Structure 1
Amino acid sequence: MKLRLLLPLIVCGTLLGRLAGQAEPDQPPSGLNGRIEGDTYVSPTGVFKMKIPVLPELGGEVTDTPNVATFYDDINLHISVGAFALARDQKWEFETRGIKDYLTYFFGNFIMPDFKTRFPGAEVETASFLPKFQEGALHLCVLLPGGSSFMRMAGLRSDEAPVVAKRGFICFVKNSHFFVISTELAERVLERSTYKNTPEQEEVILRHRLQDLIGKITFLNPPETPK
């Protein structure tokens, strides 16, 4: 089922720019906000943990903020996992709108405007609702002119037009948190002239990669806030 997204022309000051794979905000002196236990990353808010999907021997690194963890390497991986606690007003929106409309509303109001500001010409190419995945999830493919995390590796000349990157997103609500998981279709940039996949094939590839990634995340009940 395809959705038409209404994307408000407002810019929200959020941490979601991390999902674009560009400039990283300052890290605290201790490094990560979360922690690493063996080969597992644990989020600083305690709402999820996952096996780190990149390898140090391939240049794999982990960075994070209190809400977004980013995993990337020197080959072809750039993955972001965001978890945002729903404030009282957002819980009301969720309960009032229902899952499908709420996911569309949240992405359109709090995520896409940030991309539009960072990458002029950014647009949602496709959006589909997955009613049986994570009790209702929104899958999107977003085009980002000049927004690839692999520009340096692509070896573009300064006089060449910016590459239009494509990122896939899956969004859902779990344990009173809005989760957004994202990855870039790296081969679209790295293979360039030899790349032949159609938009329909790209959508399937990104959806399968994201669903496989989400299947490896352990979702935890957030710790109670002391009264």
Structure 2
Amino acid sequence: MFKRFFATMVLGVWSWSLMSAQTAGLAGKLDGDTYVSATGEFKVPSPVLTELGGKISDTANVVTFSDSYNTHVSIACFPQNPTQIWEQDTRGLRDYLLYFFTDFVLADFNKRFPGSKVESARFLPEFHGGALIAYALLPGGSLFEQKSPVGASPAEPIKAKRGTLLFVRNRHIYVLSIELAERVTQRSSYDLTVEKENSVLAERLTTLCERLVFLTKPRS
């Protein structure tokens, strides 16, 4: 049941056909340059400028920010149903977050980009009461990859790398995801080690998370 719910809600999270906020109705809303989620759980300053071609697309539970240069960010906020609450209480937070990433997030990546896999993951016990950060490689899964000209032999797809940060607040599970654009846009000059890639993604994810403003009081 929850897998069907997740698949429905995640539709368009990492879509190729993102639409501008100026031409598409949002489930949430823009208050100046701040996006307010449709759930009413959080708001966040937009990391893209629509005046410079930045795009914002959302559903009831997911918002995606992107541009053509170096930004592809998504923030999901899903209410936990009784089954998910039971999974967390039974597994413990660390194993629950890993389970959620593997069974829902990575499964969705694999459905659209076969061969996607977890490169590594680690638990951050002190961050937002306990958070998981996972790094995944997605063959052909980059928003920034140039398409081959008509008639030309298609280039071998680059394995896009995305960092994903998961945590639970107020019986909602948050899933923040960022693509490491430089892996694709810099191509021949790209020389970051795996450790440096992870460090860059972790810094960007935690910075994004710290910009979230939660709009509901913590439940007792």
TM-score (normalizing by structure 2): 0.88
Aligned to 1:103: 97
Structure 2 residue runs of 5 or longer lacking an equivalent are none
Secondary structure at the counterpart of residue 83 of structure 1: strand
Secondary structure at the counterpart of residue 146 of structure 2: helix
The equivalences for 1:169-188 within 5 A come to: 169-188=164-183
Q: Please give the per-residue CA displacement for 1:159-184, whole angstroms capped at 9, x wherever unaligned.
A: 21011100110000011100000110
Aligned to 1:209: 204
Q: Please give the per-residue CA displacement for 1:100-127, whole angstroms capped at 9, x wherever unaligned.
A: 0110111111111111110011001010
Equivalent residues of 1:122, 1:142 under 8 A apart: yes
Runs of 4+, deviation exceeding 2 Å: 10-25, 152-155
Give 1:74 shift.
2.0
Aligned to 1:38: 32
Matched residues, number = 211
Aligned to 1:93: 87
Q: Please give the per-residue CA displacement for 1:9-64, whole angstroms capped at 9, x wherever unaligned.
A: x9973433544343559x9x961000111111001110110111111232111110
CA distance in structure 2 between the aligned counterparts of 1:60 and 1:217, rounded to whole angstroms: 19
Aligned to 1:121: 115
Aligned to 1:190: 185
Matched, 1:221 2:220: no
Secondary structure at the counterpart of residue 193 of structure 1: helix
Aligned-partner residue type, residue 190 of structure 1: T
CA distance in structure 1 between the aligned counterparts of 2:134 and 2:11, rounded to whole angstroms: 17
Equivalent residues of 2:9, 2:60 under 8 A apart: no
Equivalent residues of 1:154, 1:189 under 8 A apart: no
Change (3 A) 1:154 1:160: closer
Q: Please give the per-residue CA displacement for 1:74-94, whole angstroms capped at 9, x wherever unaligned.
A: 211010000000001111111
CA distance in structure 2 between the aligned counterparts of 1:19 and 1:100, rounded to whole angstroms: 24
The sequence identity of aligned pairs, in percent, is 47
Aligned-partner residue type, residue 53 of structure 2: G
Matched, 1:165 2:136: no
Equivalent residues of 2:116, 2:138 under 8 A apart: yes
Which has the larger displacement, 44-53 or 54-63?
54-63
Q: Which has the higher contact order (CA 8 A, sep 6+)?
A: 1
Aligned-partner residue type, residue 61 of structure 1: K
Structure 1 residue runs of 5 or longer lacking an equivalent are 1-9, 223-227
CA distance in structure 1 between the aligned counterparts of 2:200 and 2:60, rounded to whole angstroms: 29
Give 1:212 shift.
0.4
RMSD value, Cα: 2.5
